Amino acid sequence: MSETKYNPSELLISISARLMEDNATCFIGTGIPMLAASLAQKMHAPNLISIFEFGGMGAQLEKLPLAVGDMRTFNKGLAAAGICDIMETAQRGFVEYGFLGGAQIDMYGNLNSTIIGDDHDNPKVRLPGSGGANDVGSTCWKTIIIMQHDKRRFIPKVDFITTPGYLSGPNAREKAGLAPNTGPYRVVTSLCTFGFDEETKWMKLLALNPGVTVDDVVENTGFKIIIPDEIGENTPPTQEELRILRDDVDKDRYYI
């Protein structure tokens, strides 16, 4: 198997998995975050504590869950709790990372997964809504956002704030009553990885995906981004990452 033969989903999953640390507590959402958590457990983070909205804590992701309430989210876990226990755990500061997606994102990491359009009651498109996304983005110490990258999604102002990022900028989260030193940490996209500037809380380019240029990122982003002098490069999935993804994590090809 060649290291260069991979598809965009496999790259996105591999980059996301590398951000999951061993022994860390991670709030996992449906879809790519589940595959990333499973890959991380099998590659470098066997003691990753996955936390799911409906009560599963510390599951061994031997088989891919299809939803956050799937019985596989409890497999060999540390505890089988409920949604109220899980949200309280995050509110008390015991969950380090939250992994989320969304339909729209702005320069401060605010996410929209509720509506497209400016009329809440009669939107152009009605999306699935928050689920636990607002709680995750509001209470976890660091939020990692995983998204496809184009101008329809990366826009100057989201149509609806489902999940708070840094809201309107520095100190806005604290003024809204959210805990200090929490908020978006990374945005992993099909083109690159972003962080956020310490002072302005504005989205900042950190690393490019293989074959992607800075111009590609700028062209597909609907707002100005911070471009530092030094930009890293995300490495492609390794042969072992691809083998585990294809033969173990998602052998039925639900996502990859």
The predicted-structure confidence for 19-64, as pLDDT tens digits, reads as follows: 999 999 999 988 888 999 999 999 999 999 999 999 999 999 989 9
Per-residue tokens: 146: 């995983």
Catalytic residue among 3, 10, 21, 53: 53
Q: What is the mean pLDDT of residues 60-72?
A: 90
Is 240 part of the annotated catalytic residue set? no
The predicted-structure confidence for 161-175, as pLDDT tens digits, reads as follows: 999 999 999 999 999
The predicted-structure confidence for 201-238, as pLDDT tens digits, reads as follows: 999 999 999 999 999 999 999 999 999 999 999 999 99
Predicted pLDDT of residue 221 = 98
Predicted pLDDT of residue 4 = 62
Phi, psi of 90 (to 5 degrees): -70, -40
Report the distance separating Cα 36 and Cα 28, nearest Å.
Answer: 9
Task: Read off the pTM.
Answer: 0.92
The predicted-structure confidence for 92-126, as pLDDT tens digits, reads as follows: 999 999 999 899 999 999 999 999 999 999 999 99
- Report domain 8-101+132-146+164-209+233-249's class: alpha beta
Radius of gyration of the CA atoms of the chain, in A: 18
Report the distance separating Cα 117 and Cα 140, nearest Å.
Answer: 28
Predicted pLDDT of residue 31 = 85
Report the distance separating Cα 63 and Cα 57, nearest Å.
Answer: 15
Report the distance separating Cα 68 and Cα 219, nearest Å.
Answer: 35
Report the distance separating Cα 157 and Cα 167, nearest Å.
Answer: 10
Predicted pLDDT of residue 256 = 85
Q: What is the mean pLDDT of residues 151-160?
A: 97
151 pLDDT higher than 60: yes
**Bridge partners of residue 184, in order along the sequence:** 143
